[in-house]
Amino acid sequence: MGKVQKATEIKDAKIQFVSLVDKAANLRQFLVTKGANGAAKFSTYGKILKVDAETHYITGIVYEPLVEDAHGDFMTEEEIKKAAYWYAENGDKVDIQHSFETAGGLSVVENYVAPSELTIGDTPVAKGSWVITVKCTDDDVWAAVQAGELTGFSMGGIGKYSEEDTDLDTLTKGGAAPPP
């Protein structure tokens, strides 16, 4: 996708699961459905960046700030941080393919928002990106990751949409409008 010109901001996301999924090669895919009380249910896809064969750790980006998804939506660094913290405080649940059933053999060992620009493997990671590392002790899931059948992480939960499109040229990477 090209640079976002106008997009709808997602706010107050409550992420219930981070899933290992097969369709994550496209960093900007996005699925949205209506939830109860007008809340939006959504999931996003972010690719696996590093797989450690010795420890069975799988590391990847869950979401990047100010990057347009396939439906013209985005989150600021501040909203990503709130979503990642809510997720950590409310169970760190991992599932497969958005089954919404906690998967045995998968546990979150690292969950953070990148405090600065960094590189994981050979991939640059933007400041404010949500990064997760999951340990896999399930042989079938590990084989699927190694075979490229599970290619990334996808967050699933509910959130709110802004009432208006935002001109992203007015935003900085920190999520605030630049001074006039």
CA 136/CA 134 separation, integer angstroms: 6
Grouping H, G, I as helix, E, B as strand and the rest as coil, residue 139 is helix
**Which is nearest to 50 in space by CA: 126, 153, 138, 140?**
153
Q: Are strands 73-74 and 6-21 parallel, antiparallel or unpaired?
A: parallel
CB 94 within 8 A of CB 20: yes
- pLDDT tens, residue by residue, 106-163: 999 999 999 999 999 888 999 999 999 999 999 999 999 998 889 888 888 888 877 6
Report the chain's mean pLDDT, rounded to a whole number: 79
CA 77/CA 116 separation, integer angstroms: 11
Evaluate if residue 90 carries a pLDDT over 90.
yes
- Name every residue whose Cβ is closer than 8 Å to that of residue 119 and which is 6 or more positions away in sequence: 125
pLDDT confidence bin for 69, thresholds 50/70/90: low
**Which is nearest to 64 in space by CA: 50, 49, 48, 80?**
80
Q: How many residues does the chain have?
A: 180
Q: What pLDDT is stored for residue 134 in this prediction?
A: 96
Looking at 30-138, list the stretches that DSSP marks H as alpha helix, in order from N- to C-terminal side. Answer: 77-89
Largest CA distance in the chain: 55
142: tokens are 């590990």
- Name every residue whose Cβ is closer than 8 Å to that of residue 56 and which is 6 or more positions away in sequence: 135, 136, 137, 142
